[in-house]
């Protein structure tokens, strides 16, 4: 599942949270060759969780991911952002990510499938979930089956949702 190297991955708060809970945040930027970015609006959402914000700050400070401002100079992105937020009732970070990737032809990293899958399909937006990241980490020998299973267990124990309890139960594409 190697992604186009020309596209960037814009990650939403849920993927960041999963990798922090799963104890594998330091491999996030090693899984795909693409650069990983986090919008300031997503970063601001993470400020509510002090420990997560500290870990994200470390990733940014070490240059593993890059925080970028929401592009207020792009009227089409601003218009779409407000449409998604006000008409589709999505969160601030999620709305910003969707609007941004729609008009920049980049990839969104999010596991809020119920909220965004249809939107991504309708606008031909490439979507990577936490499970896609895990499958690629397994395929690239960054994580073993055991490490993937431990990641899943930790994420589920933290109260997040994933579709399986073991990586071998998931159909990696």
Domain that includes residue 149, residue range: 9-169
Specify the residue for token string 């599942």: 1
Q: Is residue 32 part of a domain?
A: yes
Inside any domain, residue 15: yes
> What pTM value is reported for the model?
0.91
Query: Average pLDDT in the 19-48 region?
Result: 92
The predicted model gives 63-77 an average pLDDT of 94
Which string of DSSP letters, residue by residue, matches 100-168?
Answer: HHHHHT-EEE---HHHHHHHHHHTT-EEE-HHHHHHHHHHTTSS-HHHHHHHHHHHHHTT---S-SSGG
What's the rounded mean pLDDT across residues 142-155?
98
Output the domain CATH number for residue 90. Answer: 3.40.50.1010
In a domain, 128, yes or no: yes
How many domains, the chain? Answer: 1
Tokens at 119, concatenated: 């939107």
């Amino acid at each position: 599942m190697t992604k186009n190297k020309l596209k960037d991955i814009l990650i939403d708060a849920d993927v960041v949270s999963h990798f922090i809970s799963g104890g594998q945040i330091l491999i996030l930027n090693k899984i795909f060759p693409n650069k990983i970015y986090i919008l300031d609006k997503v970063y601001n959402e993470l400020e509510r969780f002090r420990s997560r914000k500290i870990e994200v700050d470390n990733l940014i400070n070490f240059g593993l991911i890059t925080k970028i401002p929401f592009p207020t100079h792009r009227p089409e992105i601003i218009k779409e952002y407000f449409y998604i937020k006000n008409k589709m009732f999505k969160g601030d970070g999620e709305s910003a990510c969707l609007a941004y990737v729609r008009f920049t032809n980049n990839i969104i990293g999010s596991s809020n499938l119920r909220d965004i899958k249809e939107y991504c399909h309708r606008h031909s937006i490439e979507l990577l979930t936490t499970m896609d990241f895990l499958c690629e980490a397994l395929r690239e020998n960054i994580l073993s089956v055991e490490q993937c299973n431990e990641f899943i267990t930790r994420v589920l124990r933290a109260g997040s949702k994933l579709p399986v309890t073991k990586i071998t139960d998931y159909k990696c594409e």
